[in-house]
A and B are shown apart, each in its own frame.
Chain A
Amino acid sequence: MIFKVAKIGKRADSSEPNDFIFHSDYNTFKIIAEGTKTVTLLASTADQSFTQAHSLDSFIPILTAFAKRDGVAQVFAPNGVDVESYGVRDGFDGDIKFNYVATNATNMIFNFDNDKVSTVDVDIRYFLLERAA
């Protein structure tokens, strides 16, 4: 038995997967777990890794995460910088870098650079999404 819900204006007997909100023939990606973690970045230090157990014993999960620095509105993703605006004419500066996320059989790993001369608190929100490997 197939269970499916087409988008508004699309036919339920369509063979085009993009016409559906949900279709039971296709695996829909699931959030296995989510949570938050606050870390304090050391001053003027690159390549800082923070770990947290993911508690998923049977597989290495896909991890995606977003970070937000205290006092800055923007949320930034891995492979990106925290951008502070100094005005249109003065350009932008990003001195906190969220370098990458990784997982192994036990832990989630969050890696940052901090170019500031002071420590910085960063709030992380993470999502574990099924099996990476």
Chain B
Amino acid sequence: MPQVAKIALPGNNALTETDPDKFALYVDQLVDYVLIKEKATATVNVSPGTTNIAHGLAYVPFCSVWAEESSGVWRKLYGYPISGSLWFEINGTNLELHNTSGSDVLFSYHIFYDNIT
């Protein structure tokens, strides 16, 4: 028998509701709503160049990276930018934080257990 664990948001009936958006927790082995699982998060100062964050996993994990582009303003980063000087890459060993801005920049990252390869 498939295992199910569901907690509906206030005002919704967990026994009859089928829209996953109406649940705080929706775990059902029959549908592939795998919840991403956080492994590590931190804010680090990245000097010009590359800072490697060893993630300790044997595969390439899902991640999310942000940088403080100006005081108090945090921008979501992507891969090598068409323009700009901050980006990240991730491989089977490290999360690589790249900074070619010429000055130190704070990066914030989340690394998840979930395998993307």
Q: How far is the CA of A25 from the CA of B91 in the complex (A)?
A: 24
Say yes or no: B37 contacts A102, CB within 8 Å: no
Given contacts A7-B34, A28-B38, A60-B74, contact A18 B115 (CB under 8 A): yes
Say yes or no: A78 contacts B37, CB within 8 Å: no
Q: How far is the CA of A18 from the CA of B34 in the complex (A)?
A: 9
Q: How far is the CA of A62 from the CA of B43 in the complex (A)?
A: 13
Contact residue among A7, A18, A62, A79 (Cβ-Cβ distance under 8 Å from B64): A62
What per-residue 1/0 map shows which CB atoms of B64-100 lie under 8 Å from chain A?
1010110011111010010000000000000000000
Given contacts A5-B27, A22-B27, contact A29 B76 (CB under 8 A): no
> In the complex, how many angstroms separate the beta carbon of A89 from the nearest chain B beta carbon?
26
Q: How far is the CA of A25 from the CA of B73 in the complex (A)?
A: 31
Chain B residues near A41 (CB, 8 Å)? Answer: none
Q: How far is the CA of A18 from the CA of B3 in the complex (A)?
A: 17
> In the complex, how many angstroms separate the beta carbon of B6 from the nearest chain A beta carbon?
11
Say yes or no: A104 contacts B76, CB within 8 Å: no
Chain B residues near A62 (CB, 8 Å)? Answer: 64, 66, 76, 110
* Interface residue A14 (Cβ < 8 Å from any Cβ of B): no
Chain B residues near A23 (CB, 8 Å)? Answer: 37
Contact residue among A6, A7, A29, A60 (Cβ-Cβ distance under 8 Å from B112): A29
Given contacts A20-B37, A133-B43, contact A102 B72 (CB under 8 A): no
Chain B residues near A5 (CB, 8 Å)? Answer: 3, 5, 27, 29
Q: How far is the CA of A109 from the CA of B70 in the complex (A)?
A: 13
Chain A residues near B68 (CB, 8 Å)? Answer: 133
> In the complex, how many angstroms separate the beta carbon of A21 from the nearest chain B beta carbon?
5
Contact residue among A22, A100, A105 (Cβ-Cβ distance under 8 Å from B75): A100
* Interface residue A58 (Cβ < 8 Å from any Cβ of B): no
Chain A residues near B43 (CB, 8 Å)? Answer: 133
Given contacts A7-B29, A102-B73, A133-B74, contact A27 B3 (CB under 8 A): no
What is B's interface to A at a CB cutoff of 8 Å? 2-3, 5, 25, 27-30, 33-39, 43, 64, 66, 68-69, 72-76, 78, 81, 106, 108, 110, 112-115
Q: Apart from A22-B35, A60-B72, what 12 extra A-B contacts exist at CB < 8 Å?
A: A5-B29, A7-B29, A7-B34, A8-B2, A8-B29, A23-B37, A28-B38, A29-B36, A29-B110, A102-B69, A102-B73, A133-B108
